[in-house]
């Protein structure tokens, strides 16, 4: 598996407080079957001023030796940087973006389309937080966005998961791991594999690998 959303770098955002804690999270992901991970600290300067490219790269170097770690960021729609190209996932055209819980779901496609028009491929982080209504999720995707769901959500989702899988709504499943939060990737993979082994391979490996390689992803059928 490849995890594209993980808060594993210490002393930057709401991730681990020290290097020992950071190593623990990376080892935990490895034990879940993760072979590569993109570190995605929050890019919110007012709240996390220590998140700079220099600091992120230094923290990644300090964690070398367990699994390959790529540089990435979790952008916030209210704090988008002018130099977006510097804050993509693994130096690709893909950007991971989250929204305020107060953002109307109708505004999200407008923002993601703007990113798409600028040449980026937006991935909506933990998209399930903004809506689980099929029509709304389809509108997100029609704007050019891809949807990432958290593994922990998949585990607890119940029957609606079948609809999302059948309609190919979900593009990525990631851990969004923080201290004190379970990764859940192994269990989520088992659940999705029960529906479709091919889809599980796509959501947990092929699509994330395409991000790292900056290759186009088919966003599924609408």
- Write out 3-40 in H/E/C secondary structure: EEEECCCCCCCCCCCCHHHHHHHHHHHHHCCCCEEEEC
Q: Give the list of residues 6+ apart from residue 204 with CB closer than 8 angstroms, or none.
A: 1, 2, 173, 185, 189, 192
Neighbours of 217 (CB within 10 A): 18
Q: CA neighbours within 13 Å on the CB side: how many for 189? A: 17
Give the chain's domains with CATH numbers. 2-212 (3.20.20.140)
Neighbours of 30 (CB within 10 A): 14
pLDDT tens across the length of the chain (222 residues): 999 999 999 999 999 999 999 999 999 999 999 999 999 999 999 999 999 999 999 999 999 999 999 999 999 999 999 999 999 999 999 999 999 999 999 999 999 999 999 999 999 999 999 999 999 999 999 999 999 999 999 999 988 998 998 899 999 999 999 999 889 999 999 999 999 999 999 999 999 999 999 999 875 433
Of 21, 25, 17, nearest to 175 (Cα)?
A: 25
Of 89, 132, 135, 136, nearest to 108 (Cα)?
A: 136
**What pLDDT was estimated at residue 219?**
55
Distance CA 70, CA 64 (A): 11
| The two structure tokens encoding residue 158 | 């119940």
| The two structure tokens encoding residue 179 | 């201290």
Distance CA 166, CA 163 (A): 5
**What pLDDT was estimated at residue 189?**
97
Distance CA 91, CA 4 (A): 13
Of 159, 162, 156, nearest to 188 (Cα)?
A: 156
**Is residue 11 within 8 Å of 18, Cβ to Cβ?**
yes
């Amino acid at each position: 598996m490849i995890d594209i959303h993980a808060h594993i770098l210490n002393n930057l955002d709401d991730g681990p407080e020290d290097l020992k804690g950071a190593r623990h999270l990376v080892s935990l992901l490895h034990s879940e079957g993760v072979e590569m991970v993109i570190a995605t600290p929050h890019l919110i300067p007012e709240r996390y001023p220590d998140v700079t490219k220099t600091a992120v790269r230094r923290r990644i170097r300090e964690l070398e030796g367990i699994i390959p770690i790529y540089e990435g960021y979790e952008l916030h729609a209210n704090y988008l940087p002018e130099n977006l190209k510097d804050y993509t996932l693994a130096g690709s055209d893909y950007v991971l973006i989250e929204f305020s819980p107060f953002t109307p779901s109708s505004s999200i496609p407008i923002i993601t389309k703007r990113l798409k028009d600028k040449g980026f491929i937006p991935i909506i982080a933990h998209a399930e937080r903004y809506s689980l209504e099929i029509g709304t999720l389809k509108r997100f995707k029609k704007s050019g966005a891809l949807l990432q769901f958290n593994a922990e959500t998949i585990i607890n989702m119940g029957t609606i998961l079948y609809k999302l899988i059948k309609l190919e709504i979900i593009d990525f499943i990631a851990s969004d791991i923080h201290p004190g939060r379970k990764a859940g990737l192994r269990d989520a993979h088992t659940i999705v594999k029960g529906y479709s082994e091919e889809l599980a391979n796509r959501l947990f490996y092929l699509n994330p690998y395409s991000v790292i390689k900056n290759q186009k992803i088919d966003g599924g059928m609408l």
